[in-house]
């Protein structure tokens, strides 16, 4: 006899994971709300439901991330579709979105009529660009990625979230992806680049084993992508514009030196909820 109650009492999965997967399945199969996990937990489930549950339970026990199994991940105030071609957006990256919103507010106070232009380098699922587009419909947003499949996922997310008009997507490496005929600079540049050292054992653990390695590691020294992004950023930042980069908690000092070496000012670290410095921002000189 299979009911939601029976499944929850007998699975060896982590309880939270089991609940998230079951909520996804009851919505998909029956269009029931999440509350059905309690209110309809004694109803007999059909064989298609049970078959799919067993498949997802087996894959989760094998280690596949819940976000890939259900194809969705909440991020900031939006929900993103995700698949193994994109990094699963992390809560730490929401910090980058909040820093950008604060910076945009400051810029608006100084220049109320200016159209703010923002660039998200290495957009993946579109997490940063789309969370910002959702939060502020007035920003002009450009997003790049070197992965065709990732950019396709970001574009699908933009369509599904009805934000397609506001974000322009560019395929290619960092700034090279941008249209050369577009000479206008950006007021804010953001990036969560691959920053894990290739020898870091975490790459072979947990969810990371299933995520695209090119989204996680630069395959050099963990700082290579950040160096490339910072080397050319003054060319693309408007005077007094801001850049903010996510990095590993042991990379803050190296990132601030790189920022200073590349002529950026007002370097500032931001800590995640655990108190580790995970984002560093800086400004370009004003004219
Ligand atoms: C850590 S993931 C971040 C994804 C997304 N911004 C997020 O925060 O969830 C890094 C992204 O950078 C992209 N990437 C790697 N090398 C790149 C390059 N040379 N130019 C542009 N994007 C690159 C990867 O494909 C991946 O989508």
Does the beta carbon of 91 lie inside 6 Å of ligand 1? no
**Closest atom, ligand 1, to C-alpha of 90:** 9
> What pLDDT, in 10s, does the model give residues 134-160?
999 999 999 999 999 999 999 999 999
The verdict on the CB of residue 248 being under 6 Å from ligand 1 is no
Q: Is the pLDDT of residue 222 over 70?
A: yes
What DSSP string runs through 190-245?
EE----B-TT-GGGGSGGGGGS-HHHHB-SSSSSHHHHHHHHTHHHHEEEEEEEEE
The residue behind tokens 């730490």 is 92
User: For residues 34 and 20, what is the distance between their CA atoms, to the nearest angstrom?
Assistant: 9
The CATH topology of domain 85-283 is Rossmann fold (3.40.50)
CA of 147 to the centre of ligand 1 (A): 8
Residue 124, phi-psi category: left (phi > 0), alpha (psi -120 to 50), beta (remainder): left
Does residue 157's CB lie within 6 angstroms of at least one atom of ligand 1? no
* Token representation of residue 123: 């957009």
Cβ(65) – ligand 1 distance below 6 Å: no
Question: Which residue of 215, 220, 230, 279 sits with most ligand 1 atoms within 8 Å of its CB, as the best mutation to test the pocket?
Answer: 215
Q: Which helix (H) or strand (E) holds 101?
A: helix 94-110
pLDDT bin (cut points 50, 70, 90) of residue 23 is: very high
Question: What is the pLDDT confidence band of residue 184, given thresholds at 50, 70 and 90?
Answer: confident
């Amino acid at each position: 006899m299979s009911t939601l109650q029976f499944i929850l009492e007998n699975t060896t999965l982590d309880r939270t994971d089991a609940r998230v997967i079951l909520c996804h399945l009851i919505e998909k199969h029956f269009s029931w709300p999440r509350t059905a996990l309690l209110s309809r937990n004694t109803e007999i489930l059909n064989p298609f439901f049970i078959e799919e549950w067993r498949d997802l339970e087996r894959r989760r026990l094998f280690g596949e991330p819940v976000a890939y199994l259900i194809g969705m991940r909440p991020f900031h105030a939006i929900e993103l579709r995700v698949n193994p071609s994109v990094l699963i957006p992390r809560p730490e990256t929401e910090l980058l979105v909040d820093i950008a919103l604060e910076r945009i507010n400051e810029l608006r106070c100084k220049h109320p009529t200016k159209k703010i232009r923002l660039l998200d380098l290495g957009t993946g699922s579109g997490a940063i660009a789309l969370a910002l587009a959702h939060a502020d419909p007035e920003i002009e947003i450009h997003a790049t990625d070197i992965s065709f499949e990732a950019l396709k996922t970001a574009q699908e997310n933009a369509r599904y979230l009805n934000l397609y008009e506001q974000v322009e997507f560019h395929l290619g490496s960092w700034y090279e992806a941008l249209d050369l005929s577009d000479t206008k600079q950006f007021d804010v540049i953001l990036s969560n680049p691959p920053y894990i050292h290739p020898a870091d054992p975490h790459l072979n653990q947990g969810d990371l084993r299933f995520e695209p390695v090119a989204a996680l590691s630069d395959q050099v020294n963990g700082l290579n992508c950040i160096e490339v992004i910072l080397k050319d950023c003054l060319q693309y930042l408007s005077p007094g514009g801001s850049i903010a980069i996510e990095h590993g908690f042991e990379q803050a000092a190296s990132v601030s030196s790189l920022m200073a070496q590349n002529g950026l000012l007002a370097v500032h670290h931001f800590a995640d909820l655990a108190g580790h410095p995970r984002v560093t921002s800086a400004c370009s000189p004003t004219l």
